[in-house]
Amino acid sequence: MFTKKNLDNGIPVVMEQLKNFRSVLLGIWVKVGSRSEPFDKNGISHFLEHMFFKGTKKRTATDIAFEIDSMGGDLNAFTSRENTAFYVKVLDEYIDRGIYLLTDIFMNSTFQEEEIEKEKGVIKEEIKLVEDTPDDYIHDLFSKTVWGDTGLGQPVLGRRETIKTFTREDLTGHVRKYYGTADTVVACAGNFDPDHVVGLLNNHLGGLRRGSEPKLFSPEYFRNGIAVYPRDLSETHICLGVEGIPYASHERYAVGILNSILGASVSSRLFQEIREKKGYAYSIYSFASLYADTGFWAVYAGTGRKKAVAVTELIMASLISLSTCSSKAPKSAPPPTSPLKLTLWAATSTHLPQGKTPPSM
């Protein structure tokens, strides 16, 4: 069972003791991601995440790397569309050192100009890596298709033209605006003493006083339609989805069950039909992406271009079969909360001319 306490400055700390473990994982979550970024600053949340590891007032980037390795631990971070998180995982005997290291990079990073310029090159290479990985890149393009060019439609990594413009003032301004007590949550799990952890956090994180500016998200509207992006690839990558629900919706458990039935396991309908029975795809799965006020439920498949239409039809048939089952529910059952809206994303080889859409289904 988890417990929740607040630091002296109001930051909530959510904890769960697992006494049969020998390790501790502690993370600092900030409620800002690519969704909150202006169009001309797209990618700054992720860029800033990288810069937190480039040196503090007391440690160089090399010092940080050697210190976490000396503990046999893991110090890392990630950025999503609505959150940025920093975490450390260490043996329970190193919890004091681990928290001290994590809070040092969170509170005292210097963001040196020289490191900023170097990191621009690193992130441009990261963007290229994603673009050269179609089963990864497809998800950015699908989000852009259904949400547009701003908000949830923006890529987490940003764009080349925005990355090259970032300055130290941009980074410090982003920290001042979002990295405050109102937008920060700490979570901890493993073998530890809760009072001891809260005491450590009060010592190292309690100095965070600057107020943040929590931004109310603009409503996102799911856009149905078809988008085709020709690529010189061996496979056609398909993403087909419907409008979903927010992550706090009471229907999230039902979506989890439906997702398991549709395509989240090897016994699912999609895996059995498209891979096992037909042999049309190696990778086929369904997934749900849930956000604060909206979401989508989608299916990804990678297949040969000659089988792309057949695979798409099979995916649609599976979705329709779920809808048909739900239509046979008792009349007292509540109606769906939103209409079924379909979006098809296909990254195809150059054999499909620019602007040409797949045959009507």
Q: What is the dihedral of CA 134, 139, 140, 143, to 10 degrees?
A: 150
Locate the DSSP E strands across the chain: 2-6, 12-17, 23-30, 74-79, 84-91, 184-190, 225-230, 236-243, 281-290, 295-303, 343-348
Distance CA 284, CA 236 (A): 12
Residue among 37, 49, 119, 220 flagged as catalytic: 49
What letter does residue 168 receive in the DSSP assignment? H
- Determine how β-strand 74-79 pairs with β-strand 12-17: unpaired
* Per-residue tokens: 309: 């239409």
Task: Name the phi and psi angles at 243, rounded to 5.
Answer: -60, 140
What angle do the packed helices 134-147 and 113-131 form, to 10 degrees?
100
| Number of residues in the chain | 361
Cα 111 vs. chain centroid, distance in angstroms? 24
CA 297/CA 266 separation, integer angstroms: 18
Cα separation of 68 and 47, whole Å? 21
Q: By the 8 A CB rule, do 86 and 52 touch?
A: yes
Q: State yes or no: is 117 an active-site residue.
A: no
Q: How far apart are CA 338 and CA 344, in angstroms?
A: 18
CA distance 72 to 69: 5
Cα dist from 20 to 17, 74, 192, whole Å? 9, 20, 11
CA dihedral 269, 270, 273, 276 (to 10 degrees): -110
Catalytic residues: 49
